[in-house]
Amino acid sequence: MALDPRTLSSGGRVVALDTLRGIALLMVICAHFLPGKLIFGLAANVVSTMGRGGVILFFLLSGYLIFRNLQNQKPLVFLSRRLFKIFPAYCGNVLVIVLLGQLLDG
């Protein structure tokens, strides 16, 4: 099934799916930060459930979009792009955690 070119942005991304992923991300963020602020038990439960739904939606969409990218590229190109996208952020996070551990331990 081909996608309508009007639904694609200039980079070949599906704008509607990116928007849904953003909504799922906001659902998760609200679930993390709002329940502690809510006094009412039922409202906190609803927000918490919304967060679980956001996680499921985010992972479903991400899995579909990653598979779609894998279909459009050679596996080696796909893996190298993923490595260079994820590995620098991973190394930066490890460095920050080690530095904070050294600063807060002493």
How far is 85 from 62, CA to CA, in rounded Å? Answer: 15
What per-residue confidence (pLDDT) applies to 88?
Answer: 94
For 2, list phi and psi in degrees, rounded to 5.
-85, 145
Mind listing the pLDDT tens digit for each residue in 43-82? 777 777 888 889 999 899 988 988 888 888 898 998 999 8
* Torsion sign over Cα 71, 73, 78, 84: negative
What per-residue confidence (pLDDT) applies to 76?
Answer: 92
For 72, list phi and psi in degrees, rounded to 5.
-90, -5
What per-residue confidence (pLDDT) applies to 60?
Answer: 93
Is 92:86 a contact under the CB 8 Å cutoff?
no
How far is 45 from 52, CA to CA, in rounded Å? Answer: 11
Mind listing the pLDDT tens digit for each residue in 16-33? 998 998 899 988 888 887
Mind listing the pLDDT tens digit for each residue in 3-15? 555 555 556 778 8
